[in-house]
A and B are shown apart, each in its own frame.
Chain A
Amino acid sequence: MAVVFEATKGLTGKPFHYCPGCTHGIIHRLIGEVMCELGILEETVSVASVGCSYNSYEYFACDAVQAAHGRAPAVATGIKRNIKDKFVFTYQGDGDLASIGAAEITHAAARGEKITAFFVNNAVYGMTSGQMAPTTLLGQVTTTSPFGRDASYQGYPINVSELLSNLTGSAYIERVCLTDYKNIQAAKKAIKQAFLAQQANLGFTMVEFLSTCPTNWGKEPLEAMDWLKEKMLPQYPLGVYKGADIDFKKLEADFKAARGGENA
């Protein structure tokens, strides 16, 4: 028998501190797997944010820097502009990216920074115990919208992928989810495509992951997956919002050819 699935070397192996069933763990693993499969682990710098994934730098086996709340895209910009041949990604929650860090992500995308943002949208501030986020759904009960988010008082959810895809500087933006095997594989493909687009200097790249927060949603992990499918998908449709015309097969072939040449 051959091993068909084992822990990736793209992660350090330190046990995750996330709650049972939290999809942060699946996203971490996929990013680790892609870094290994592309062979870029030693050339990648991650930028951790503030939120439940504040210490993602302890889990990713690449180099890492920690940024202040919302500022990861600015830190990533500085790194990428100075070491242009490295892969640089941020890992940010929706509170971090769409609330306190709304300016940084918007301007990084507008400037067409050659970085990748991995954006974990769980419709809530997870770490600080479940306050309303910009991405919280209408009617969703959180600790700061105890009667459900009311548009007349708390405004409407922000669809970040749609918003940033309107900026000329963004090159590739896709929204994915992790509710089953097929969607998890699609999410992995999106991560790979984001790195390939970054490598080809096409511009700003982002993958938005619809993610669960069973703890603050007050749901069992499986129930949370169902809630995501039923409630989040209508507000946040999956798909490629920018870069649908990119020939990723060619990018990958070129990338591999260049690598083969290097190693030869």
Chain B
Amino acid sequence: MAKVSFNDDLCKGCGLCVNACPKKILQLDNSRLNNKGYHPVSCTDMSACIGCAFCATTCPDVVITVER
């Protein structure tokens, strides 16, 4: 059981976390815009998250919190 959450308005849609996730469950959500005007990242399948924090470690904008 693991969970990622995003401080959406800090996300700059850079995609580094998308690439870092070994489970490939992160993607930029093209249906949403945040306050900065970027498509923020979102998790497509939380049940597959292993809580490795590769995403949060790679994020330059401290967007991601990981629980396990």
Q: Which residue of A has the minimal Cβ distance to B65? A: A6
Q: Does A24 count as interface, using CB distance less than 8 angstroms?
A: yes
Instruction: Say whether B60 contacts A18, CB under 8 Å.
Output: yes
Q: How many A-B residue pairs have CB under 8 A?
A: 75
Query: Which of A49-57, A121-129, A143-151, A219-227 interfaces with chain B?
Result: A219-227
Nearest CB of B to A219, in Å: 12
From A5, A6, A180, give the contact of B20 (CB < 8 A).
A180
- A23 with B60, Cβ < 8 A, contacts A4-B67, A5-B65, A221-B14 known: yes
How many chain A residues touch B (Cβ–Cβ < 8 Å)? Answer: 30
From B2, B51, B54, B62, give the contact of A7 (CB < 8 A).
B62
Which of chain A's residues 1-48 have a Cβ closer than 8 Å to chain B? 1-8, 11, 15-16, 18-26, 29
Bound complex: CA A184 to CA B31 (Å): 31
Report the contact-size class of chain B (Cβ under 8 Å from the partner): 20 to 34
- Which chain B residues have a beta carbon within 8 Å of chain A's beta carbons? 1-3, 7, 10, 12-16, 19-20, 38, 51, 53-54, 56-62, 64-68
- Which chain A residues have a beta carbon within 8 Å of chain B's beta carbons? 1-8, 11, 15-16, 18-26, 29, 180-181, 184-185, 214, 220-222, 225
